[in-house]
Amino acid sequence: MGMSIQRYGKWDFRAVDTASAARALARLKEQGAPAEPERAAAVVLLREAPLRVFLLRHAAKEPFGLPTIGRADLPQVTVRERWAHLDVDGYSGRGVPGGALSGPRTAQYGFPGGRHKPDDPDVAMTGVRAVEEETGALVALQRAWARWVTPEYEPVRFDSWIYVATLAEGFQPRIRVREPEYATWIGPEQAVCQYGGQMSVPEATTLAELARYSTVGEVFAAAEQREMSPVLPRVSLVDDEARLVLPGEEGYPTDALATV
């Protein structure tokens, strides 16, 4: 699946603040049970040549834990992330797609998407609808790429499907809603290297994976072979170092509270 990506360029996708991780896990233990995840979708619009993705910049996103700078010559930087933040002391209220968060507002980069609505026939159509609402464009072809579930310690959780898609002929995406500040077509590698610290782990990982391919056809062929089991990150605390670990990796906790 390619889900073993941990670092890309200067970004360490898995490092999290140890003290915040401990507080988040303690809060989950006190809560007793994780919140039920809601269905959601995000869509990576593709075009060529060369391969490009459509990237949006938002003033703020719902939480999920951003990568930190992992180079030895730079300070560790912990920032909010769309699906896995561990800044639990700075978070209050319910984050929703497109909604505001308490505390500092940081620009974040990502893809069109949002939560599933009752009148969406399925989660795939949630993605199609989100693209139309946010960009005014229609999706032509779409394939599932990954499925991520928000860690159990989050107060708001999503079962999020990430799709790769192309646009119907004649459509060019544009910003048509108030929240996105900026949009651009950009190469996957450039996107994750330049903006990886302002993306969610799932979105940054997706871009790192897409950087391996040269054409839309190659991406769609790879999508047909991908395993769509849900990816549920958990926190591993070893020697006072906290990291997100994915299913199948060494050190993956047997349950969300295994390290408390």
State the average pLDDT over residues 81-92: 35
For residues 67 and 246, the model is more confident at: 246
d(CA 29, CA 5): 29
Of 10-24, 32-46, 49-63, 176-190, which has the strongest mean pLDDT?
Answer: 32-46
d(CA 108, CA 66): 10
Contact 31, 80 (CB under 8 A): no
Would you say residue 31 has pLDDT above 80?
Answer: yes
Would you say residue 127 has pLDDT above 60?
Answer: yes
Type of residue found at 241: E
Q: Compute CA distances 238 → 18, 187, 206, 253, whole Å.
A: 10, 36, 27, 11
Q: At what angle do helices 188-195 and 201-210 cross, to 10 degrees?
A: 140
For residues 172 and 92, the model is more confident at: 172
pLDDT of the residue at 143: 97
pLDDT of the residue at 177: 56
For residues 207 and 181, the model is more confident at: 207
Does 118 sit behind a cis peptide bond, omega within 30 degrees of 0 on the bond before it? no
Contact 109, 67 (CB under 8 A): no
Type of residue found at 25: L
pLDDT of the residue at 4: 65
pLDDT of the residue at 32: 83
Sign of CA dihedral 131, 132, 137, 139: positive
Length of the chain: 260
pLDDT category at 258 given cuts 50, 70, 90 is: low
pLDDT category at 89 given cuts 50, 70, 90 is: very low
Tokens linked to 47 = 């075009």
pLDDT 10s digits, 32-43: 888 899 999 999
From 188, 128, 172, select the one nearest 2 (Cα to Cα).
188
pLDDT category at 169 given cuts 50, 70, 90 is: confident
Q: To which H or E segment does residue 115 belong?
A: strand 113-115
How far is the first Cα of the chain from the last one, in angstroms, to the nearest whole number? 29
State the average pLDDT over residues 104-129: 87
- 192: three-class secondary structure by DSSP: helix
d(CA 200, CA 106): 13
d(CA 201, CA 15): 10
State the average pLDDT over residues 173-180: 64
pLDDT category at 190 given cuts 50, 70, 90 is: very high
Q: In what order do the strands lie in the sheet with 241-245?
A: 15-16, 241-245, 234-238
Judging by beta carbons within 10 Å of its beta carbon (0-12, 13-18, 19+), is residue 187 exposed, middle or buried? middle
Report the chain's mean pLDDT, rounded to a whole number. 78
pLDDT category at 259 given cuts 50, 70, 90 is: low
Instruction: Give the domain ranges of the chain.
Output: 7-245
Contact 124, 206 (CB under 8 A): no
What residues does 241 pair with on adjacent strands? Answer: 238
pLDDT of the residue at 179: 57
Tokens linked to 55 = 């990237």
Is the pTM above the cut of 0.85?
no
Q: CATH assignment of 7-245, given 3.20.20.20, 3.40.50.150, 3.90.79.10, 2.40.50.140?
A: 3.90.79.10
CA atoms within 13 A of residue 195's CA, in its CB half-sphere: 24
- 71: three-class secondary structure by DSSP: coil
